[in-house]
Amino acid sequence: MTPPPGDMPEPGHRICPLDPGMAGAVWALYALARDAAPHGFLARRHPQEFVALLEGAVPGVAVGAFAGNRLVGYSISRQMDGASPLGQAFGFAPGTAYEGMGSAIHPEVAGRLLMARMLSLRGRIEQSRGGAHVVGLIDIANLGSVANVLRAGGALVGTRRDETSLNYVAYAGALLRGAVKGSGLQPVPVSDLAGQRALFEAGWAATGLRRDGGTRCLTFQGFPTVFGCLGLTDAEASQ
């Protein structure tokens, strides 16, 4: 498997689309990452979900990171259907959006920017297949994944709870590229969920993660004509 033209993986690692036969390796890596990660960092999955996505029974995109022939990372999405609550909130047209189904990195290669590279490649493939929008959920405590999404050009646009945790709603795609941005940037501590919720409801999105003094902060920017009326905040986010 050869990385598509234009992809520049870190020396010693290749990043490329996954073959259908890799479903077992993906499940093994998912299970390892799930057992090692805090509760809620990885959504609950079943082996058959990976089989269906990699074999094409469910339309989606799957990319992986390899050290030699060993899978050390994956990132997977599926084409969003009309039953998706996030798709309904955004009002995406059929066939134009993808929903993240999970990403993981083997602990041995953590910190090498492989996740951001996988997200970038996955996004290019999604776009080549008509995907103008990509959304996903990230546990609010999983700042490593937040940083990877922001580094790959995404933004946080709200919060949603799933069966395991309270999550940020991450978005990447045409709405950001065509948006008229408000002036100025506003840092909000990652612990200030009420402050974040107020900005999300006003149409702001978090586009960066930095330290302001000794405090870890999300950096918000206004997108009032794009995200202001989506209602992508849970009441719990104000507590």
Distances (CA, A) of 238 to 5, 6, 11, 160: 45, 42, 44, 12
pTM given for the model: 0.83
pLDDT tens, 98-150? Answer: 999 999 999 888 878 898 899 889 999 999 999 999 999 999 999 988 998 89
Domain membership of residue 62 (yes or no) is yes
Say if residue 153 is in the same domain as residue 221: no
Say if residue 188 is in the same domain as residue 151: no
Tell me what pLDDT residue 8 has. 40
CATH number at residue 67: 3.40.630.30
Rounded Cα distance between 210 and 225, Å, is 26
Tell me what pLDDT residue 181 has. 64
Say if residue 169 is in the same domain as residue 206: no
Domain membership of residue 238 (yes or no) is no
Per DSSP, helices labelled H in the chain are 23-36, 47-55, 85-90, 114-128, 143-151, 174-177, 193-201, 224-227
* Assigned token pair, 58: 């469910």
Q: What is the mean pLDDT of the chain?
A: 85
Rounded Cα distance between 90 and 229, Å, is 10
